[in-house]
Structure 1
């Protein structure tokens, strides 16, 4: 099942990232560059780097100018993340292009890649909650609370994984079909954000 493969790849990516623990570290995927595994590895690496950017910008003592710089970098990284999700959806659209949906087929609330995006973020939550549940400098109460949260996150991963696998099986069987909409983010586009185009000279 795709979710089992994805979860293993996400865990591998997170582990590899933390060998460096450097936001600027370039990802080196161990997978064939033409494979879905390669795309999933890069997708999670993007998410992991952004996770740590979000940590940095929340430092209450950060210099405001530096904080704004990080915020803009996060915006750019989020666009990269969105582009990668849409690229992965392109993979699935090509994979299922010869399947004829049944007359009763329905579209899902989200595409396969956006569901996988949630699974990638969930892998990061699990990794870091596990860290907190085992952090020796934390109080017993903190570790206990984090362990309880970790249990919930693990259950959520099981449910989400099953839902993703079921969606793909339904698409393959023609019971559901893919309908992908581009995100059309407006705030980064100087022609769509009024703050940007009204200040253009």
Structure 2
């Protein structure tokens, strides 16, 4: 099952990242560059680095100039994340290109890779919520509250994993078909963001 592979690799990438806990640490992707596993590992590493960038920029004592620098870096990282999702969708489009959709086949509300994107973020939520549920310096009330939230996240991961596997099985069987739209983010494009092109 694709979700089982994804969840395992997401957990691996998160664990590997936290050995160094450094946003700028080089990525040592252990999987073959042509493999889906490689894409999953890279996807989650990108998400994990962005997660920690978001932590940094939310420091209320951060210098405004430094904060703006981090905000711009987060914007750039978010574009990398979006590009990675679309690249993974390209993998699935290629994988299923020979499948003939049935006449009554339907399109899904989101593509496989965008669902996998949510699964990657869930892996990060689970990792960090588990940290809080087990943090010895936190109060018992805090740990209990976080454990309750963790239980919900674990249930959510199970449901989302099943949905991803069912979607891919339906595409393979011709019951659903893929149609991928580029995100066309406008705020990073100097020709589409009026604040930028009016200054040109």
SS at match of 1:15: helix
Equivalent residue number for residue 13 of structure 1: 13
Q: TM-score, normalised by structure 1?
A: 0.99
Give the Cα–Cα distance (whole angstroms) in 1 for the partners of residues 26 and 156 of structure 2. Answer: 30
1:182 partnered with 2:178: no
Equivalent residue number for residue 86 of structure 2: 86
Aligned residues, how many? Answer: 200
Unpaired stretches in structure 2, ≥5 consecutive residues = none
1:37 partnered with 2:2: no
Give the Cα–Cα distance (whole angstroms) in 1 for the partners of residues 26 and 103 of structure 2. Answer: 46
User: Residues 54-100 of structure 1: CA distance to partner in whole angstroms, max 9, x if unpaired?
Assistant: 00000000000000000000000000000000000000000000000
Unpaired stretches in structure 1, ≥5 consecutive residues = none
Give the Cα–Cα distance (whole angstroms) in 1 for the partners of residues 102 and 148 of structure 2. Answer: 43
Give the Cα–Cα distance (whole angstroms) in 2 for the partners of residues 58 and 135 of structure 1. Answer: 21
User: Residues 151-179 of structure 1: CA distance to partner in whole angstroms, max 9, x if unpaired?
Assistant: 00000000000000000000000000000
Equivalent residue number for residue 130 of structure 2: 130
RMSD, matched Cα? 0.3
Query: How far does residue 119 in structure 1 lie from its aligned partner after superposition?
Result: 0.1
Give the Cα–Cα distance (whole angstroms) in 1 for the partners of residues 26 and 183 of structure 2. Answer: 26
Equivalent residue number for residue 151 of structure 1: 151
Q: TM-score, normalised by structure 2?
A: 1.00
Give the Cα–Cα distance (whole angstroms) in 2 for the partners of residues 167 and 181 of structure 1. Answer: 17
